[in-house]
Amino acid sequence: MSALELIQLNLLSPVILCFLLGIAATLVRSDMRFPEQLYHGLSIYLLLAIGLKGGVAMVSNPSPGMIKVLLAAVLISACIPLWLYPLLRKLGKFSSADSAAVAAHYGSVSVVTFLAGIAFLQALDVPFEGFLPAVVAVMEVPGIIVALLLVQRKNPAASSWLGSIKTVLTGKSVFLLLGGLLIGVLSGPQGMEKVAGFFVVPFQGVLCLFLLEMGMVASRRFDDLRKTGPFLLVFAILVPVLHAVLAIWLGAHLGLSRGGAFILGILASSASYIAAPATVRLALPQASPALYLTSSLAITFPFNLTVGIPLYFAISAWFFS
C-alpha cells in the first residue's frame, strides 16, 4: 500500500474517527462531556487489559529475544532526555525546569498511541510480537528519571526526585501495567479465557470511547499553540519522526518482525500524558504546563495518531524490503 493509502486507512478507522469526533465536539462548542469517573474507569480498564494480554502472551509465546528487546527499550527511553534537554536549552532557550519537563514527556510513552498502532496493524493483518505490552511498561519510567536527574544536577533545590520516582512507580498507569503483566503471567491462557469476554471482546469499543474523550482533551490545548511559538511546533513534529526512524532501525537489527519494529518506533515517537504530567507537576512545579502539555498533547499526540502511524509503517518498509 502507498503512504497515502495507509493514511486513508488509518484516518477511516473507528478508533481515529472517534478521536477526530472529540476534536470536532470541542471546536463546535458541543455540550458533550465525559464524567470524570467514567474517564478514569476507561483508563483503568485499558491499562489492566493491556497488561493482562501482554502477560499471557509472554508465557504463551516466549521469545528468546524478548529480554534483549526490553533492555533496548529501556535504553531508548533513558537516552531520549539526554539529547533533548540540551537541545531545548540551547535552541529553544527554555529554562532548566522547562527543558527537563518537556524531555521527561518525550522520554516516556503514550499508551493510547501504542493501542492505535496495534489497531492499525490488526486492520492490515500484520503480525507482531506478543510481549510488546511489556515494552510499554518498561518505557514509562526511565526517561522521566533521567530528566529529573538532569534538572537535579543543575538545581539541587528542586523537589526530591526520589519522591517523584516513587510517585511514577505507584501511579495508576505503571502500577496497572505491571500488575496486569504479573496477573497475566501467573494465570496464563487458561485464566485469560475466563475473563476474555470482558477484557478482550469489548476492548476496541472501550478504546473508541477513550479516544473520543482524548480528542476533546487535546483540542482544548490548541489555543496554547499561539503562546509557545514556532519552535515548539517544529520540535513536537520532527523529534517524534526522528525517534521513530531510529527505533524502527534498531528493532530491525534486534530481530523484531516488521510489526514489532513499527510498534517500537511508535513508542519511541510518542510522548506521555499520564505518568509524566503527574510527576512533573510534583517534582518541577516551576515548569510551564503550556510548554510540556501543549507539545505532548496538542501537537505530538494528534500528529502521531493521524499522520505518524501510517508514516512510520511506510518508513518501516525501508528496513524490511
In tens, the pLDDT along 50-99 reads 788 878 877 876 677 888 999 999 999 999 999 999 999 999 999 998 99
**Phi-psi map region of 128: left, alpha, beta (phi>0 left; psi -120 to 50 alpha):** beta
CA distance 269 to 67: 21
Q: What is the CATH number of the domain that holds 278?
A: 1.20.1530.20
The model's confidence at residue 251, banded by pLDDT at 50, 70 and 90, is very high
How many angstroms separate the Cα of 206 from the Cα of each of 81, 133, 203? 32, 18, 5
- Give domain status of residue 321, yes or no: no
Evaluate whether residue 41 is within a structural domain. yes
Which has more pLDDT, 287 or 165? 287
Which residues, in sequence order, are CB contacts of 149 under 8 Å at separation 6+?
161
Residue 200 lies in a domain: yes
Task: Assess if residue 172 is contained within a domain.
Answer: yes
Tell whether the model's pLDDT for residue 200 goes beyond 70.
yes
Q: Whole-prediction pTM value?
A: 0.80
Please give the Cα distance from 177 to 256 (Å, whole number): 22
User: Is residue 193 a part of any domain in this protein?
Assistant: yes
- The terminus-to-terminus CA distance of the chain in angstroms comes to 13
Q: Picking from 2-11, 106-115, 191-200, 254-263, which range would have the lowest pLDDT averaged per residue?
A: 2-11
178 within domain boundaries:
yes
Instruction: State the angle between helix axes of 14-27 and 111-124 in degrees (0 to 180), rounded to the nearest 10.
Output: 130
Task: Give the pLDDT band of residue 112 (cuts 50, 70, 90).
Answer: confident
Identify whether 207 is part of a domain: yes
DSSP state of 223: G
Instruction: Give the structural domain span for 46.
Output: 3-316
State how many domains the chain has. Answer: 1
User: Is it the case that residue 45 has pLDDT exceeding 80?
Assistant: yes
Mean pLDDT of the chain: 86
Where is average pLDDT lowest: 25-34, 282-291, 312-321? 282-291
- Helix%, strand%, coil% for the chain, nearest 5: 80, 0, 20
Q: How far apart are CA 213 and CA 119, in angstroms?
A: 18
